[in-house]
Amino acid sequence: MRVRHVSYLIIPCLLASCASVLSEDRPSFLAEASWLEEEAGGRLILSGTGGFVYSPLLQGRVMTSTVDLSEPGLGFVNREAIALRGEPAAFHNHGGVERFWIGPEGSQFSLYFDPGAPFVAELWRVPKDLDVGPFDEVALGQMERDMVIRNRIGTEFTMRVGRHVEVPTQDEVESVVGAVPPGSLWSAFRTINTVTNTGESAWSREGGLPCIWLAGMFLPGERSWSILPFRTDREDPDGGPAVRSEYFGEPGAVIDEKRLRFGRNFAILRTDSELRCKVGVRRNRARNVIAAFDPSTEVLTIVHFSPIDENAGYVDETWATGGDPYYGDVVNSYNHSGPESFFELESSSPALALAPGEGHTHRSTTMQFRFADEEHLSAAVRTALGLDWAEVKVLADWD
């Protein structure tokens, strides 16, 4: 392999040396990176003991990641959708451990339903500028694109999106999780996402405000769970639960304790890709971190993002119009079902009431670890999430 950039270490895979296939007929991370380079201009970046791949052609997505270059990747990569990305579809689900989107998905100001359309799955569609077409890469890892998006009541948003993908230092990673001891495997990437209002009018609450919405698709596991820490010192204004689960227009739908369980200051959602469901934490209860753990790979994933603005509105992602559209979601986890197997970890910026020429930036760092021993895993969970690993293990039946 030859190194094309010594700062970021972009390494094009040689097809012959990257063609190994590991367990369950899944390609190695390097084989996947090679395929993404060939099919979608993917760029492999080394980080820690592993790396990640991003693609300007696939809307600036970070496509997959690993803590060990010889293993399969940890992200959902939809090769069929990538190969057919020129075909019409309501959603070109390319996959990716982080994609850039704009919210809200729900409320009367939804961007994912046409004006006046009811909230039914058959009418859901992703705005074209978020779904297809490349980002322009103006420098290594720095991408941008102009977009025009219209919401469900007809308000149009003209914006410029800037997206910068970079490698955090080990010191920056350790500032979140504590020491990463020798013998541990890890990788991390950070994205800096800026939306600027390039239209002639200010974005108003009456017309519906957008937000920056980042979502990562990870491979599920039979015993894997996402982990959502929440605050216990504040309540939601409507007295709702710390973690809510009614998202897709199904009144009274409740996820039972087989899939959603509660600890003292956190909830866990089973991420096995067997049932379509979603959970979320709103502003008063949310913390700016979400995580997942899969005992089959022993990989802990942590997504740490911009501080929560306790004075700002956050948009509502539920498929309904009855709630407060500006007291909504900060963090979410989504468990998919069907032929495409993945789960998501998601974060959102505040609602963007931007004047012409004004911008807002949302930062997010995705870190993945396989610690050398459980003592350091427990310490990382305590430092990054504020949780007792022993309590998490018992709740998830990992003992």
298-333 per-position pLDDT tens digit: 999 999 999 999 999 999 999 999 889 999 999 999
Going by pLDDT thresholds of 50, 70 and 90, the confidence category of residue 12 is very low
Q: Which residues contact 224 (CB under 8 A, 6 or more apart)?
A: 270, 271, 272, 292, 293, 294, 295, 296, 343
**Confidence at residue 313, expressed as pLDDT on a 0 to 100 scale:** 98
Contact between 259 and 343 under an 8 Å Cβ cutoff? The reply is: no
Mean pLDDT on 156-181:
98
pLDDT top residue among 70 and 252: 70
Mean pLDDT on 376-381:
98
- Residue-wise pLDDT tens digits, 212-222: 999 999 999 99
List domains and CATH numbers for the chain.
99-396 (2.70.98)
pLDDT at 253 over 70: no
| Residues pairing with 270 in the sheet | 225
pLDDT at 24 over 50: yes
**C-alpha distances in Å from residue 71, one per residue of 31, 33, 254:** 10, 12, 37
pLDDT at 364 over 70: yes
What's the pTM?
Answer: 0.94
**Confidence at residue 85, expressed as pLDDT on a 0 to 100 scale:** 87
Going by pLDDT thresholds of 50, 70 and 90, the confidence category of residue 251 is low
pLDDT top residue among 25 and 284: 284
Mean pLDDT on 19-24:
41
| 9-18, 119-128, 194-203, 232-241: least confident range | 9-18
Spell out a b/e string for 265-292, using b for 16 or more CB atoms within 10 Å of the CB, else e.
Answer: bbbbbbbbbeeebbbbbbbbbbbbbbbb
